[in-house]
Chain A
Amino acid sequence: MVTLQNIRPIDDAKLSELGLTWHTDKDGSKYVGDALVEVTQAEAEAYYEAANELYDMYAEAAQYVIDNNLFFELGIPFNLIEPIKKSWENDVHWHLYGRFDLSGGIDGAPIKLIEFNADTPTALFETALLQWALLKYNNMDEESQFNNVYDAIRENFKRLITLFDDTELFDERYEGWKILFSSMDGNEEEEATTRLLQQMASDAGFVTGFEYLQNVKFDEEGIYDREGNEYEYWFKLYPWEDIAIDEPELATTLNAIMQNQRAIILNPAYTLLFQSKGMMKILCDLFPDSPYLLKSSFEPLKGVKQVEKRVFGREGANTKIINADGSVAVSSDGPYENFKKVYQEYAEFPQDIHANKYQAGVFFAYEGCGLSFRRGGEILDNMSKFVGHVIV
């Protein structure tokens, strides 16, 4: 059973002022839960360990996919194979941050990997800032949270320059290279996420800029804001597979930009390998004994309750929960039905007394750096709620 600690919520006006304007979902319900999930120190440690170990496994699996040319199996669009390989070969294409979605981890349930949001993870503002603000607002101990997200990502920005060396060397080595941050105009949540990352980069010491996606200019020699200023880095909160499919000409241009070493794109193209849920099957093949993995296959599993997903489905869309006898328990529609299917053994999410289900999200930036929860029903969709945590 998930134990909750009720707290005094921050009202909508204040949330907006803090920068969280998406506090109310389309159905009028509150997006931010007015309770915190109680987590023990040992449970928080276990989430941290899981994220670190899973990341190492993903890195090994990505190498395996590249060595064995398994891009088709993962549903990777053909026009991204070259950018993926190029970004993988050179450490300057540094992975800034990702978020592991996990079941279990509290109340004795084992931690199991649900998926890895490696390319365009959101819930960043909520995890890094909001759940800390909830502690602060309720006069609780600000240290009683597994939340080092802001600092960890700020440090990881420095590693764009220092790579595996000490980030203290950033000031010495940084020569004014600029990062352009972009999100889609009209989506406040994505813009706030992107601008938060920009702030982290500025705090790290980078010169930064922001430009909506549709105003960014590209040619084979570089990436520019609307004024024509060239940037050495471009962070886009926009899925790689959507670039590949919806903007194929841009995919070609980005490949040329990487080839000509004119700009580095973040998160790197290889994070699409991590993002593909097909990786779950590869991980199972490579690490059959890992305690973190649920049995996964490209074919329906036999005789077990399972979840059918699309390799690039997001927010619970196009998902089916299939009972052991083959009947469908629950399913969701969505725009991802053209992507390949993957089947993952069903894992029960921890529940509270109202039978709400909780999925843990563990942020990763060089190492595990913060925890938060999503609360919802059987399939966690975009109506699911954000719930912070407190270490007890």
Chain B
Amino acid sequence: MKHIASLASGVALGSAGIAMMSILSGCESAQEQQQAQNKFLVIEQQENGKYVVIEEMPTEGPSRAIIRERDEFGNIKERFMNEEEMRALAEQEYKKVQEGTSETVQSGDTSAGMGLGGTILAAAAGALMGNMIANALMNNKNFANNAANANRSAYSRSATPSSSTSKSSTGKSYFGSGSSKSPSSSSSYGG
């Protein structure tokens, strides 16, 4: 009888895990030019062979992705994809959009996921192709629906929390604030 639980992968560690996966894979960015909309995606192949985004995080470095695919035995294997590779796939898919053959602009149920190129384009069109193209794509109702379907990350679903209204408080501070008493920095409470 197995009660104890393990981590199937860093994805289970949420935002902490995917940041660490990036560093451990040696694919961390050297703080290149900042582009706020760049994304770090974790894309997982479903049992039907289709792909969905399972984690998404904004990143200050170039966009990148961890692709989790199934081998012939159904075991998940991970590979890393850099921005160039992602852009190549997105551009390929965008070409299909222009030809009208991309599944990203088809109506119909894409809740089971899409191909890898479509999934990447849907999740990161702005970061990879620029805002003009992304906005144009999002104006297409089918693309917008499919983009939403292909992304199951908590980040994309959670609304930006509204900041609370400031209330002026007369609250008092403790812990040596406002005095020269410096807090001990050697403490550590692990016991």
Contacts and interface: CB of A to CB of B under 8 A. Distances in A.
A190 B185 CA distance: 9
A222 B4 contact: no
Given A218-B174, A247-B174, A142 B13 contact: no
Interface stretch (B33-41, B101-109, B125-133, B175-183): B175-183
Given A122-B190, A123-B190, A199-B16, A136 B185 contact: no
B173 A218 contact: yes
B189 A119 contact: yes
Contact of B7 (A145, A228, A249): A145
A148 B5 contact: yes
Interface string A170-188: 0000001010000011110
Interface stretch (A41-49, A54-62, A281-289, A294-302): A41-49
Bin the interface of chain B by size. 35 or more
A308 interface: no
A224 B171 contact: yes
Interface string B142-177: 000000000000100010011110111111111111
B169 A228 contact: yes
B20 A101 contact: no
Contacts of A207: 161
Contacts of A238: 175, 189
A144 B9 CA distance: 11
A273 to B, nearest CB: 15
Contact of B17 (A129, A187, A213): A129
Given A205-B158, A214-B183, A219-B169, A122 B6 contact: no
Contacts of A48: 3-4
Nearest to A239: B189
Given A202-B15, A217-B173, A230-B167, A315 B190 contact: yes
Contacts of B164: 178, 229-230
A129 B13 contact: yes
Contact of A214 (B9, B28, B176): B176
B59 to A, nearest CB: 14
Interface residues of A, number: 78
Contacts of A119: 189
Contacts of B183: 184-186, 213-214
A250 interface: yes
Contacts of A315: 188, 190-191
A243 B11 CA distance: 38
Nearest to A176: B161
A188 B45 CA distance: 38
B85 to A, nearest CB: 22
A228 B15 contact: no
Nearest to B14: A203
A189 interface: yes
A256 interface: no
B100 interface: no
Contacts of B185: 184, 186-187
Contact of B177 (A203, A214, A221): A214
B98 interface: no
B79 interface: no
Contact of A154 (B14, B23, B169): B14
Contacts of A122: 188-190
B16 A196 contact: yes
B14 A215 contact: no
Given A117-B191, A147-B6, A247 B14 contact: no
Nearest to B178: A214
B187 interface: yes
Interface in A226-278: 227-230, 237-239, 247, 249-250, 253
Given A142-B8, A144-B6, A219 B177 contact: no
Given A137-B24, A382-B188, A41 B2 contact: yes
A358 interface: no
Contacts of B13: 128-129, 132, 150-151
Interface string B106-126: 000000000000000000000
B191 A219 contact: no
22 contacts: A18-B23, A41-B4, A45-B1, A99-B190, A117-B189, A128-B13, A129-B17, A132-B7, A136-B10, A142-B7, A142-B8, A147-B5, A147-B6, A151-B12, A176-B161, A214-B174, A217-B169, A228-B171, A230-B169, A238-B175, A247-B175, A382-B188
Given A18-B23, A214-B176, 12 more contacts: A120-B189, A136-B21, A142-B9, A146-B4, A151-B13, A184-B187, A203-B15, A205-B154, A219-B171, A228-B168, A228-B171, A253-B172
Interface of A: 10, 14, 17-18, 41, 44-45, 48-49, 99, 101, 115, 117, 119-123, 128-129, 132-133, 136-137, 142-148, 150-152, 154, 176, 178, 184-187, 189-190, 196, 199-200, 202-203, 205, 207, 213-219, 221-224, 227-230, 237-239, 247, 249-250, 253, 314-315, 368-369, 382, 391
Interface of B: 1-10, 12-17, 20-21, 23-24, 28, 154, 158, 161-164, 166-178, 182-191
